Amino acid sequence: MDVVSLFTCIFAFMLLGYARVSTTDQNPDLQIDALKKAGCKKIYVDKLSGTKSDRPELTKLREHLRDGDTLVVWRLDRLARSLKNLIQWVTELEEQKVAFKSLQEAIDTTTPSGKLIFHIFGALAEFERNLIRERTMAGLTAARARGKLGGRPEKVDQATQKKIRGLYNSKELTVMEICETMGISKPTMYKYLKVD
């Protein structure tokens, strides 16, 4: 057996763990111990809120995952912020041919029952997207029936943008009054204030 084949055999199918605690005051030892007991060879630990999209150790883990590996977490909420986020993760892992395990929920996508659970999650997420789309279309139809146009507002012309800047610089009206007068939102107003 050559060196490359030997290296591939030794390092193929790694179990990689991910642990997260919400603050630096919290201790991830419980998660780390469980991940080691599950056979994880490498464990990545973030100490910050799950609502943060930039998690440095999770990014390193994502870059390290290879075909045949398994991502292991102590609990689903350690990895994903929402069901939608979890489904995105599992879809991405499936595309990379990486398995997923959650120890507390006993989910393992290397098993038929684990795959079934995630197909159910995926179906629920798709159902939710379809409901949102249907409600949006029904809302737009109802608005059109009352004479309102749906969709993104038309772009404000240069003369109106200049008027918005003039009103803002004069300080005669509050931001809300300017927005109401011009029929725009605060973010739109601030966007036009940046343009000169």
Catalytic-role residue among 22, 49, 53, 102: 22
102 in active site: no
Angle at 19 between CA 82 and CA 16, to 5 degrees: 105
Residue 17 CA, distance from chain mean position: 19
Q: What are the two backbone dihedrals, phi and then psi, of residue 151, each rounded to the nearest 5 degrees?
A: 95, -175
42-47 β-sheet, strand order: 42-47, 15-21, 70-73, 99-102, 107-108
Angle at 17 between CA 14 and CA 19, to 5 degrees: 170
Q: In sequence order, what E strands does the chain have?
A: 15-21, 42-47, 70-73, 99-102, 107-108
Q: Which of 129, 94, 86, 96 is nearest to 115 (CA)?
A: 94
The residues carrying an active-site annotation are 22
